[in-house]
Structure 1
């Protein structure tokens, strides 16, 4: 995946999470994104990023001194095995169970797992089944 590629026409351009402990968050997101085969894009003083996800400390210039609130982010997975790998990686790197991998009632073949990240965000990996597969998306719930 090209990490410097611009994707015009998407609903979401990027998402920033402002976290308490950057090292814990970096360990968590590096592991879960690796399970989803999304490479880390880079890092700097007080931040790191991957694809359209930007994670920083509260003292970074972009954060303006405030933590973000609780969010729900859903990452698309290519198959059920990838959802399972996401869940295991999350639990092994500071995440807390918020719904083990399984079929959900949202629509037929909606297979997902939910975890709480080190800052209380509800992070999901979802596979929509072969019939509903489309371009990668990130869903946000406020």
Structure 2
């Protein structure tokens, strides 16, 4: 597996999900990531990946024969329409509704949708609103 580029300074370097049905998961993630404008990075026997998300079968060497537990992943969306499209694509490709698109109380402008992927992971698309969209990123150095 190759990556396109190395991103130093991120909190999360990568995440691996080990799934029961790779074809079902790949169909689900290809559909929702396409809406989010994140291309599939590659695929091979027993795995696929996009950006820093690596999805494999339990038979893959990295998985050591064990499925991962339930996770919550939140993908950033560029606007509310993208959150809506994410939810629609997820439901059409094997996802289960876990919270329809709408405002959430986490902070003003937090607009999100939640779905369960084919393995029960809670997958979210979130748009943080215009006020937060224009806020500069903060880099903390220790």
TM-score by length of 1: 0.91
Unaligned 5+ runs, structure 2:
137-142
| 1:33 aligned partner | 33
Write the distance in 2 (CA, Å) between the matches of 1:43 and 1:97.
Answer: 27
Instruction: Mark the runs of 5 or more structure 1 residues left unpaired by the alignment.
Output: 136-142
The 5 Å alignment of 1:59-138 reads 59-133=59-133
Structure 1 residue 56 corresponds to structure 2 residue 76: no
Q: RMSD of the TM alignment (CA)?
A: 1.4
The higher relative CO (CA closer than 8 Å, separation ≥ 6) is in 1
Alpha-carbon shift at residue 131 of structure 1 (Å):
1.4
CA displacement at 1:63 relative to structure 2? 0.3
State the Cα distance separating 1:132 from its structure 2 match. Answer: 1.2
Question: What is the CA deviation profile of residues 18-74 of structure 1, one whole-angstrom value per residue up to 9, with x for unaligned ones?
Answer: 000000000000000001010000001100000000000000000000000000000
Query: How far, CA to CA, are the matches of 2:60 and 2:50 in structure 1?
Result: 17
Shift in Å, 1:105: 0.2
Structure whose CA Rg is larger: 2
Q: Which runs of 4+ in 1 moved over 2 A?
A: none
TM-score (norm 2): 0.91
Q: Distance in 1 between matches of 2:65 and 2:106?
A: 37
Corresponding pairs, count: 134
